[in-house]
Structure formats: C-alpha cells, structure tokens
Structure 1
C-alpha cells in the first residue's frame, strides 16, 4: 500500500508524529472525512491526487524567495533527480547568488533508507548479530532527516537555497498558487488557517511525490533486466560485476550492498563513512581555512558535535544511475566516474595525485579534515597500502568496473542493446 493510501486514513502522519514528536504534524481529523465504509477506489484516487499535487509543488519556482528556483532546479528530473550540471554546489538564495556548501545528491532510490540510528546491528538473517555497524541511515549527506517531509523542509527554508524566511512564507506562496484548491480538496477547506499544519501538508505532498515508483524507483536498468532473465551481461560487464564484489579488488559491495542474483538491490548499506575526499576549492566556504564540513559531527548537523569519532563521516549513496552523474561525493570534488574509482584505488598508493603539498614538501593527506580527526578515515580495501604499492585495480579493470556500473542506469531497452546480445 502506498504512503498516499495510508495518508487517506491519516495513519502514516499520525504514526510519524508519534515517532518524532512533531506537534504540527497532521492528525486524522485534519483530513476531509473518507467515505463511511472503506473505499479502495477513493483511497487510490487520493494517493494519485496527492502525488500529482506534490509534483506540481516540486516543479514550482514560485515557492522560492527568488521566484526562480524549484526543487527540480537542483534535483532535475532529466538528470535522475540529481544536479543538472557539474557544479560542485548549486546557486540559490533570495537573489540566486548564494553558493551551497554541499553537492546535490540524487533523490532516486531513497524509499528504503531507514531513519538514522547510531548503532545498527543486523538481524540474524543478515549477518552477525553481535556486530555493531555504527551510524546508519537518515536522509541528506549527514543523515539528519528521518523522513522525506523532514528533508523537504531544508531547501525550502535554507537561506542559501529556496530561502523562505519561515514556513508561513511557503504557505502563503502555496495559497496563492493555481493548485491551492487542490490542497483544500485533499486537506480540508480550512487548511490554510493554520500555517503549521498547512506547511506539514505541503511537505507531506512533496514526500508523497518522491515515493512515486515510476519516477523515483523504477528498477528499469540493464542490471534489473539481467536479474529478471531478460538480458545478458557482456563479458566485460560480467567481469566488472566480479570486481565490484571481490574483497581484494573493488570491494564496492562492502558499502554498496549487492546481494547477488535474484534480487533488485539499491546498492547501498545506508552506512556513514569517512573517505578522506580531498578539499574542494570550488566551494566558496572552503576559502576560509578554518571551515570544515565534517558531516555527522557538524556544522550543519548539531546533535552529534560531541562525538569526535563521527567527524568526517557522510552517508553512502545508492550507486543506481551513478554513471549519469557529473559531480561526486559530498563536496563535489570529482567530476567523472573514472576519477572516483581511481581515487578509491590510488588514494593511499599515490597520495600525491590527490592531495596538496605542505610547506615542508610532504603530502597533506586527508586535507579536508582537521588533523585530529584524520584517524577516522576508512582504510578498508580498496584503500590501504603505502605509496608506491600497486593499486587494487589497473586501468583495464577500471574499464570493466565502469562497464558494470553503467548497467545500473535506468531506462534500459533490450532492443537497443547490441552489445548484450
């Protein structure tokens, strides 16, 4: 059953409010009364209408202070709901001249991301139940948003993004929008009388749209066709899949979980990890040598700043549609998939390729973290080794791994695939 159907009875929002203590969240009595008896057609139509409303809001630039920026401006439908360009950070703000501080992630394949938890222990059917995998889950790069509606608040109110001064400003814009009557139809004629509840309705509609299967988790890649027995991988793609899973090669599946045949994974364990990505001078905030984006421990996330072991950790993304991206990692430091893979396998064997030199001529490795937190950086394969060692993958193997990652791109059509025949 979709979130929209649950919302028709008010159950989803009620449970969410209880879980997160949101006094402004919608309750069952805030919705127009459903038919006296359960009506599947009514519930289905309401779900469709709510998703369509969310899509209108998602595409509407009038919901920004500038009147020029919609959710889709940064999360472009034509670019797998990721950024439409290779800028490290996007422009926004009331005058569209403000720079963000993090790269824009894709909104696709987020429907299974769990709420953030500090200590995640897999069930017995998933692995060793005595193993604490550490911080896991949550939306955004630092995992601070437990649900899609919580995440939707951030760009609407961030002064560097859509830059509304407060929720009431967003509500006023929606009230003046052509679809205001649809909001009244779905949430009651008096919904705009209470700005807090109206804002909750707006973010709920956005969240519902972002749970639309055909848009956000279609599972239409060549890999999906392969799992379903409708396509064959080429020898190069097959070898790339082996390298992806091999612990002494790519070892990608250690974070981007791949369960093997007969499953349609999202290629993500939802964990948070420090990778030691080099500092990106293209982010204006980095011009201040005292500024560091340390992910889980701040500065944008505030509740875990007293956990030094979390500094530098960012949530790993799904690898679906990764081959369509032109900006990678939380700081947008890299702009090609090859560059990303080369960084993984050469970070420790060829650090001079990725990091600047200090005044004394030594390499300033992991330069986007204060020295005291650099021990948090992950050293599992394909990382590790010492300068001069042979990287885990050579150039031909990188080609093969990229070929496999390209099979994760949605929109595959068997009739157009001559290489896989």
Structure 2
C-alpha cells in the first residue's frame, strides 16, 4: 500500500510528537513545528523493533498471523541456538520469545553505522573538504537551497547542525503535499479508499483528526537517487519527475491529476475533500496555474545532479 521507506539514517529521527520544538542549538525553540518524527511514513512507531514488526505482521506484506507464527518460522529456519545464546536456554524452543528476540536483533543490527549511517556520499566528502562539486552539482545545490526556486531545504535540511552534525536532509516533519493517486495499489481499486497517513487507516490513534489527514513524514533525501519509486505511495517512478511534481503541481496540475466526469480537474485526487485543506502551499507550491514553474527543465536536471551526490559509497579520486 505504501512505498518501502529507507531504513538508513533513522538513528537520529526523534520520537513522534504532535508538538515538536527545535532544540536550542538548532533554531528558535519557541516555535511549534507540529507533528514530527517516528520511523514510518505516518510516524506511528519509534523503535527499530516496533518498525520491524510491521511488515512481518501486515496482511499485505509478509502476512504472518501472529508473532508466535513468526517465531516458529525463525526456529524452523535454524536460529534456535542463536536465539538461546541471546535470550537463554528456554528461548530456543519458545516461538514467542524467539519473535521478541528476533525483533530486538533487527533493531540492534540497524545500529551498525557502516551499513545504516555511513555518511559516505560525495556531499559528505565535499563538506569534509576532500572534493568539490561539479559546476552542475553546485548549481543544483544552490537551486535546492534557494527559497524562491526549489526551496527544498526548507524541509530537507542541507546544512550541518550547529553542533557540527552532518545534514540529514529532512526536518522529520509530517506534511501533506497532495501527491497523485497511485492506481496500481490494490487498495486503491476501491474509489472510496484513502490512505491519509497520520489520520489513518494504518495509524489508528488520530482517526477523525481532520487537521492531520494527508500528512506523511518527510523522508531523508540521502540515497534518493538510488530509489525507483518516490513519495509515500510510490506513484512517481523517476527522480526527475519527483522534482518536476514539486514545481508543476500548481502551475500545470493537468499534467499530474485526472479529470472528473464533468471535465473539471481532480486536484489532490488521493485525498478526501476535507484533507485537501491541509495541502502545503509554501514555495514552490505558491504559484498559480499557467505561471512559469519555479524550476526550468535544465534547472530540474541540475537539482537531480546534486541529489545524486547524496548516494553513499562515493570514493574520491586518488
């Protein structure tokens, strides 16, 4: 139902909060940034073990009926001794303990910095003074940061923290951007079905909170150039198109949304009518239909070139 989020760079994501105040060394701590944090698109879990449980027990992912069933699979696969070494002799034959131990093991594994937060991209090398961006990449970074152009950095923070920490390329906030409906998702064959993120249906504690409907967590853009699908519903299939959506959503909505039976445009067609009021209108979404997009095609290519510098595994030339 949703695109699989990256498990990388989750180690600094704050626990979910309805009212998030920036830390004192980052910004004005009196500003309430609203719903922020959590490890999933809707922010509903805060620990790696809780996140790992979701696909294992989801009806539309791995489809296990219970943790005990998962535990049986773990033991049948030959992990009984390893489970017993961690959780004690009795655990090697207890599916419930095996399940809990496996979840904890997955959480610990995701703390391996070499795998999950290596900070080994070209941009990290640039920040360390080891290499320079190409002219196109540098133009892309400038456009990425410029409030009157891409304005990407307003949510995907590109600067080091005041304490010197590497940029995470996310502010962890939940936001509604009105991405087009992905009609390839089986659940969307029901025209009445809506995945509204923070207000449900997968997250249940905010169902009925209309001000939260349509909000999804801003993902990191680290390694974004390696992805094949984009946004929470995976409905966009190239990075160029993902960037283009941001600058054309309001200026050329007919390129992104279908027509209703009466011929009118069905903007933000993956949202309920009530949730459409929550769609973000900050730049570059502040333009009107028919106006020039904030980025030209060449400038989109420049931004995409910069985003490619965020992929891990870069080796500076010797």
TM-score (norm 2): 0.96
- Superposed displacement of residue 413, structure 1: 1.4
1:294 paired to 2:294: no
- Superposed displacement of residue 156, structure 1: 1.1
Contact 1:237 1:404 in 2 (8 A): yes
Tell me which of 258, 262, 267 is aligned to 1:365. Answer: 267
- Superposed displacement of residue 260, structure 1: 4.6
- Superposed displacement of residue 178, structure 1: 2.5
Tell me which of 130, 141, 144 is aligned to 1:230. Answer: 130
Counterpart in 1 of 2:87? 187
- Superposed displacement of residue 229, structure 1: 1.2
Counterpart in 2 of 1:337? 239
1:146 paired to 2:46: yes
Matches of 1:169 and 1:298 in 2, distance apart? Answer: 26
Matches of 1:284 and 1:401 in 2, distance apart? Answer: 33
Contact 2:75 2:95 in 1 (8 A): no
Counterpart in 1 of 2:304? 402
Matches of 2:76 and 2:268 in 1, distance apart? Answer: 49
Matches of 1:155 and 1:308 in 2, distance apart? Answer: 27
Matches of 2:256 and 2:269 in 1, distance apart? Answer: 10
SS in 2 for 1:129: coil
Contact 1:171 1:192 in 2 (8 A): no
1:412 paired to 2:314: yes
Contact 1:221 1:407 in 2 (8 A): yes
- Superposed displacement of residue 198, structure 1: 3.2
Query: What are structure 1's unaligned runs of at least 5 residues?
Result: 1-100, 417-421
SS in 1 for 2:270: coil
- Superposed displacement of residue 196, structure 1: 3.9
- Superposed displacement of residue 263, structure 1: 4.6
Counterpart in 2 of 1:158? 58
Matches of 1:158 and 1:388 in 2, distance apart? Answer: 43
- Superposed displacement of residue 292, structure 1: 0.3
1:128 paired to 2:43: no
Q: How does 1:249-264 map to 2 (within 5 A)?
A: 249-260=149-160, 263-264=165-166
Q: Deviations over 1:204-254 (max 9, x none)?
A: 001111121111111111001111111111111111111111111111111
- Superposed displacement of residue 276, structure 1: 0.4
Matches of 1:186 and 1:288 in 2, distance apart? Answer: 45
Structure with max Cα Rg: 1
Matches of 2:214 and 2:195 in 1, distance apart? Answer: 7
Bigger mean CA offset, 220-229 vs 259-268: 259-268
Query: What are structure 2's unaligned runs of at least 5 residues?
Result: none
Q: How does 1:17-416 map to 2 (within 5 A)?
A: 101-192=1-92, 195-260=95-160, 263-415=165-317
Contact 2:81 2:92 in 1 (8 A): no
Contact 1:298 1:305 in 2 (8 A): yes
Matches of 1:157 and 1:358 in 2, distance apart? Answer: 37
Change (3 A) 1:237 1:263: farther
Contact 2:225 2:239 in 1 (8 A): yes
SS in 1 for 2:78: coil
Greater RCO structure (CA 8 Å; 6+ sep): 2
- Superposed displacement of residue 192, structure 1: 4.2
RMSD: 1.5
Contact 2:75 2:93 in 1 (8 A): no
Q: Deviations over 1:184-207 (max 9, x none)?
A: 112211124654443221100011
Matches of 1:295 and 1:109 in 2, distance apart? Answer: 21
